[in-house]
Structure 1
Amino acid sequence: MPIIKLDAIDSTNTFLKDMVSAEKVEDFTVVTAKYQTEGKGQMGAVWTSEASKNLMFSVFVDISKFKLEHPFYISMVTALALRHSLKTFLIPQLHIKWPNDILSQNKKICGILVENVIKQNHLNATIIGVGLNVNQTDFDNLPYASSLKQITGRFFETDELLSIIINSLKMYFSKLKEGHYKELKAEYESFLFRKNKPSTFKDAKGNLFSGYILNVLDSGDLQILMEDNIIKSFALKDVTLMY
């Protein structure tokens, strides 16, 4: 498993995408950086992080041999792999906030960005960017952010974390390749934040409404039981789960 370590870069995802377009990249090649100037999150959000205190990396996964009908399963297995890895470090109350943020004690500790590589109209590979808050303890103006150190009081070695996360990713992508869709989806939904609990959401127009998260469709759309007992499905850009 090749690991490329950088001091500073605009974005590890961008760096890895440029590599993929220029040369053949080995499966599970990893690019890490001590600092990112333009770290990216879901839907164009910016991921900010103190230099050398957190784990920021991107990993290339070859999925050209997968018979994958629904790309959202890539997000599912990535979130499950991160949760599984953190559980081994006894991080408490781990949940997945749809689509793939990792929470501990209702605070966000990890963000995931999945960017798929399409070749000849076929899903060929995926580049997974991960930003994990590790030893940073100051989160100005981010009341719902936390870190492993802030939660546990312990200092963590980022290299050790990375090794365990990559092994978990390999395990979960192996399950995906073998076609264990039903089992993976059930596991993902079992850890969904606010599932079957009264929750507040914001739609694309900024309107707030109440409902219950029921499940997630294979497409990745979130199914919500509305106040009038109607079940509606929402795509990622159409709804935000409020804390």
Structure 2
Amino acid sequence: MKNTLYKIPASTLFLGKNLVFVPECHSTNTLALQLCQNSGPVEGTLVITPNQTAGRGQRGNGWEAEPGKNFTFSLILKPTTLAVKDQFYLNIFTSLALHDYVTAKACTAVRVKWPNDIYVGSKKVCGILVESQISGNKFSHVVVGIGLNVNQQKFGTDTATSLSVLTGLQFDLQTELETLLKFLEARYLQLREGKMTLLMEDYLNVLYGLNTPLSFDVDGMPVEGMIAGVDESGRLRVLMEGKERVFGVKEVGYKVV
């Protein structure tokens, strides 16, 4: 599909150099995964649409995005040197890149809610969904889906916001796409270079609720606790009732306040 909205970014090394634009689709992640099955696109391929009708998020949640106002896109990556056991670093590099970008837009109190939602204050501005296919003990491809609220003004939930609402500005999507891809590429290169300690340190520094008392929902019951970090496989480490427990994405809930 010929691109009718976005230009190939000039300032990245490989992200977005192959750009697949569709005027509408159910989910850019689904389309990107189909491309991986059919043709094996080059690393850095960007699949983008102004109108995603059935965006997918963590926990099977949907993603609301007003057509033409926001970013709904997916990147196809091939992190061949990344060990499968370290796959949570795919969430880490992506969420850090989005944190870097949103912070650069003069937003304060930007935090990552585990595993990879981007919040400004108590409102969510960005969601990320990482899906991968493994062949043997290596990744054959990874699809990183990003939904970022840019110019949308009204939402169906009071916990969502956009860069425009936060700053009072309107943003040119082409310009912002290029800027965002540069942040994503910088963090991805850190991953490819094996800078895991740096990435984990930076992630914990911006992780919402770290070492802070919170109320968690575990099996439908409220439990008081405190986030202690994440383990090697990306599970959330929480101190509860004097003991450390670990949780997967669908095993615990908590609100950003």
The separation in 2 between residues aligned to 1:235 and 1:104, in whole angstroms, is 24
Does residue 107 of structure 1 match 2:120?
no
Does residue 233 of structure 1 match 2:246?
yes
The separation in 2 between residues aligned to 1:2 and 1:71, in whole angstroms, is 24
1:43 Cα deviation from its structure 2 partner: 2.0
Q: Is the 8 A contact 1:73 1:218 kept in 2?
A: no
Does residue 213 of structure 1 match 2:227?
yes
1:69 Cα deviation from its structure 2 partner: 3.1
Does residue 145 of structure 1 match 2:160?
yes
Q: Given residue 165 of structure 2, which amino acid in structure 1 is its aligned partner?
A: Q
Percentage of pairs with the same residue: 32
Quote the residue 2:63 is aligned against: 47
- Which deviates further from its counterpart, 97-106 or 65-74? 65-74
Q: TM-score, normalised by structure 1?
A: 0.94
Show structure 2 runs of 5+ residues with no match: 1-16
Q: Given residue 226 of structure 2, which amino acid in structure 1 is its aligned partner?
A: Y
Q: Is the 8 A contact 2:82 2:138 kept in 1?
A: no
Q: Is the 8 A contact 2:84 2:137 kept in 1?
A: no
Q: Is the 8 A contact 1:117 1:124 kept in 2?
A: yes
Quote the residue 2:11 is aligned against: none
1:121 Cα deviation from its structure 2 partner: 4.5
Q: Is the 8 A contact 1:202 1:242 kept in 2?
A: no
- Which deviates further from its counterpart, 121-130 or 216-225? 121-130
The separation in 1 between residues aligned to 2:102 and 2:176, in whole angstroms, is 8
Q: Is the 8 A contact 1:34 1:52 kept in 2?
A: yes
The separation in 1 between residues aligned to 2:106 and 2:84, in whole angstroms, is 32
Count of residue pairs brought into register by the alignment: 240
- Which deviates further from its counterpart, 188-197 or 68-77? 68-77
- How big is the alpha-carbon RMSD for the aligned residues of Structure 1 and Structure 2? 1.3
Equivalent of residue 148 in structure 2, options 132, 146, 153: 132
The separation in 2 between residues aligned to 1:178 and 1:217, in whole angstroms, is 21
Q: TM-score, normalised by structure 2?
A: 0.90
Does residue 222 of structure 1 match 2:240?
no
Equivalent of residue 96 in structure 2, options 68, 76, 80: 80
1:91 Cα deviation from its structure 2 partner: 1.9
Does residue 94 of structure 1 match 2:107?
no
